[in-house]
Amino acid sequence: MNDARPSTTIRMEALVPHLAEAAAGWAARLNLPQSGEADFALQLGEAGLQLAELGPQAPGPVRVDFVEGAVAHRRVFGGGSGQMIAKAVGVQPGVRPRVLDATAGLGRDGFVLASLGCAVTLIERQPLIAALLEDGLARARGDREVGPIVAQMQLLTGNAIELMDAWEGEPPQVIYLDPMFPHRDKSALVKKEMRLFRPFVGDDLDAPALLAAALALASHRVVVKRPRKAPIIAGATPGYALEGKSSRYDIYPKKKLQA
């Protein structure tokens, strides 16, 4: 995801007085003002960190919540290892690959894979979204059911191409990519998130370089999530694809995953 556009103004706010010091810490980390006119606000309240558009017609704020809401519903009712994303990354009896989600966003897909038993490293390069994700992971660690899942998730902030090029130690078995694209998902949740995030993120114009870096690093396979009818990313040709109603997973196999 790309950095915020210069025309977008954002400030940091504490929603309750006793969180003012913590909010000031986030403001310092993210180089955000704590006063003045702004289009958006990063807000710290009792429920955690959230991004809100300011103004009378603005949608509600967005925050990362792995314990309740849509993510929790998917964890319980989403289909487990029968989900298409699980099949795409190679989850099977006795196989739970180490996954690098190099386009983490709000961490939903990474959380699904962690809930299935995969160790997941997340990379998010947009600092505001990384902050929301970091806060969501921190809050989830204290939950009895979800804590063990997020304990398998590690967050890195920075440019995924650079981080993959400079990777040290054992490479991830599977690298998962979901580059930003003009979303065709018409759900209210996605519409709200896209309205909030569009001023800060754009389409990933460096997707071909991202794919090339992933193919160079992954030991077993690279998986790219795309809109169902979208063209493949320029570069290598996928070995095969799994297709759903709205999305498609292009799979670039390198080596067989084995128990």
Cβ atoms of 101 and 130 within 8 Å: the answer is no
101 is in an annotated binding site: no
Q: What is the Cα–Cα distance from 25 to 30, expressed in whole angstroms?
A: 9
Strands 174-177 and 221-227: parallel
178 is in an annotated binding site: yes
Is residue 67 a contact partner of residue 143, using CB atoms and an 8 Å limit?
yes
Q: 109: annotated binding-site residue?
A: yes
Instruction: Give whole-number Cα distances, 222 to 41, 67, 138, in Å.
Output: 36, 29, 28
* 195 assigned ligand-binding residue: no
Dihedral sign, CA of 113, 119, 125, 131?
Answer: positive
Output DSSP code: residue 169: S
> Does 125 show up as a binding residue in the annotation?
yes
Residue type at 134 in one-letter notation: E
Q: Which residues are annotated as a binding site?
A: 108-109, 124-125, 178
Q: Which residues are annotated as a binding site for S-adenosyl-L-methionine?
A: 108-109, 124-125, 178
